[in-house]
Amino acid sequence: MFPMRKVKREVKIGTVAIGANHPVAVQTMLNAPVADVAGNVAQAKRVAAAGCQILRASVPTLEDVRLVEAIKSAVEIPFVADIHFNYKIALACVDAGADKIRLNPGNIGADENVRAVARACNAKNIPIRIGVNAGSLEKEILARYGATVPEALVGLLEKHDFNNIVISIKSSNVPTMMAAYRLLSEKCDYPLHVGVTEAGTYRMGLIKSGMGIGGLLLEGIGDTLRVSLTDDPEKEVQAGYD
């Protein structure tokens, strides 16, 4: 008999809610060149037709913030802006209508930068996904320190009264990824985005993701998922439902 799903707090990403008793949401990430707005919009339409429920794209520069409005105008899927290092891009994406921000609050600079993003997202009820890569964690380190890294990053947001949080702690190593999520699930009630990062080509990506994501779902862990493949994003969506 399989264990019951571990119920986490509810988080709303645009029109899609995860956590609580909501179904596990399937998402993908666009992989067209960021500067190719038309190419990204075309991909967004294809993944929408494939049934994608949450859509993410990288927004590496302030100029690329134009992607947010372009995609939001083309499809009705909630849009997640993937931010690295520059908190001003996160603020611009919030203003542009992003439904969720994905970042690591530990790499966007001083505490006032974190506070600015937290306040902007709170004002518009926009959640933040904290993304942590567990790829370099050895088993003994993981077993010893567990979820201390994501807990610390969550604390950077909570200190600014921000609790609208989703967490991921991905790894390309399946046992490491599963161990990390088990520990994290025990330690917090925030919804979890599960996945095997850089899973590989279609064949190998399906195998690794089926083991890692599928194994966690059977343990009742996971509120939204992405099957990360070196392939077209609509195939990630199809694999997610499979």
- What is the structure's pLDDT at 3? 65
Q: Is pLDDT of 206 > 70?
A: yes
Q: How many residues does the chain have?
A: 242
- What is the structure's pLDDT at 199? 65
Confidence at 65, pLDDT banded by 50, 70, 90: very high
Q: Mean pLDDT score of the chain, rounded to an integer?
A: 90
Confidence at 145, pLDDT banded by 50, 70, 90: very low
Q: Is pLDDT of 50 > 90?
A: yes
- What is the structure's pLDDT at 104? 86
- What is the structure's pLDDT at 241? 95
pLDDT tens by residue, 110-123 = 999 999 999 999 99
Of 182, 166, 183, 168, nearest in space to 217 by CA: 182
Instruction: Give the count of beta carbons closer than 10 Å to the beta carbon of residue 84.
Output: 15
Confidence at 172, pLDDT banded by 50, 70, 90: confident
pLDDT tens by residue, 82-93 = 998 899 999 999
- The residue with tokens 């899927």 is 77
Can you list the alpha helix ranges (DSSP code H) found in the chain?
A: 37-49, 66-74, 87-96, 111-123, 139-145, 148-158, 174-187, 202-218, 233-241
Average pLDDT of span 73-99:
97
C-alpha 92/C-alpha 75 separation (Å) is 20
